[in-house]
């Protein structure tokens, strides 16, 4: 699987700009990566507002926007499409949602995990 660099940059940008929008008075976005057995797992945790459960449920549908003056609601629909095209995976946890995982640090309000396939190039 070849990773489309521009599209993955767009994914990262869309998630990071949502985090920035959710932290209008400042906060922290923490991005970490880990080896997940043939995949790279990328976690984005922010200390913003979190989102209601009904927004989280529909977040990958186009034109779902909530609490923004100028949101088109396309950002996360694009993220999902790019992840599907790459045979990747995305999961979102949010503190305003019910099933917050213990893996989410106590200060984190929104937690997105991406799993991306890795292209391994070995040059000898």
Ligand X SMILES: Nc1ncnc2c1ncn2[C@@H]1O[C@H](COP(=O)(O)OP(=O)(O)OP(=O)(O)O)[C@@H](O)[C@H]1O
Residues that bind Mg ion (CB under 5 A): 18, 75
Q: Convert residues 16-35 into a mask of x (bound to ligand X by CB under 6 A) and - (unbound).
A: --xx--x-------------
100 binds ligand X (CB under 6 A): no
Match 């797992």 to its residue by tokens.
41
50 binds ligand X (CB under 6 A): yes
The stretches of 22-119 forming alpha helices (DSSP H) are: 53-58, 75-85
Name the binder of 82 from ligand X, Mg ion, none, CB < 5-8 A by kind.
none
Among 10, 16, 65, 100, binds ligand X (CB under 6 A): 65
Name the binder of 48 from Mg ion, ligand X, none, CB < 5-8 A by kind.
ligand X
Name the binder of 42 from ligand X, Mg ion, none, CB < 5-8 A by kind.
none
Among 8, 36, 71, 118, binds ligand X (CB under 6 A): 71
Could you tell me if 89 and 83 are in contact, meaning their C-beta atoms sit under 8 angstroms apart? Answer: yes
Could you tell me if 84 and 60 are in contact, meaning their C-beta atoms sit under 8 angstroms apart? Answer: no
Q: Looking at beta carbons only, is 18 or 94 nearer to Mg ion?
A: 18
| CA angle 48–52–58, rounded 5-degree value | 110
**Residue 36 burial (CB < 10 Å; 0-12/13-18/19+)?**
middle
């Amino acid at each position: 699987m070849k990773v489309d660099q521009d599209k993955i940059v767009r994914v990262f940008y869309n998630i990071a700009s949502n985090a920035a929008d959710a932290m209008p008075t400042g906060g922290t976005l923490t991005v970490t990566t880990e080896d997940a057995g043939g995949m790279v797992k990328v976690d984005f945790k922010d200390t913003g507002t979190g989102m209601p459960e009904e927004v989280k449920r529909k977040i990958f549908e186009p034109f779902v926007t909530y609490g923004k003056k100028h949101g088109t609601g396309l950002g996360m629909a694009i993220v999902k499409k790019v992840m599907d095209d790459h045979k990747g995976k995305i999961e979102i946890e949010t503190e305003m949602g019910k099933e917050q995982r213990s893996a989410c640090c106590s200060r984190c309000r929104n937690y997105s995990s991406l799993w991306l396939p890795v292209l391994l190039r070995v040059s000898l």
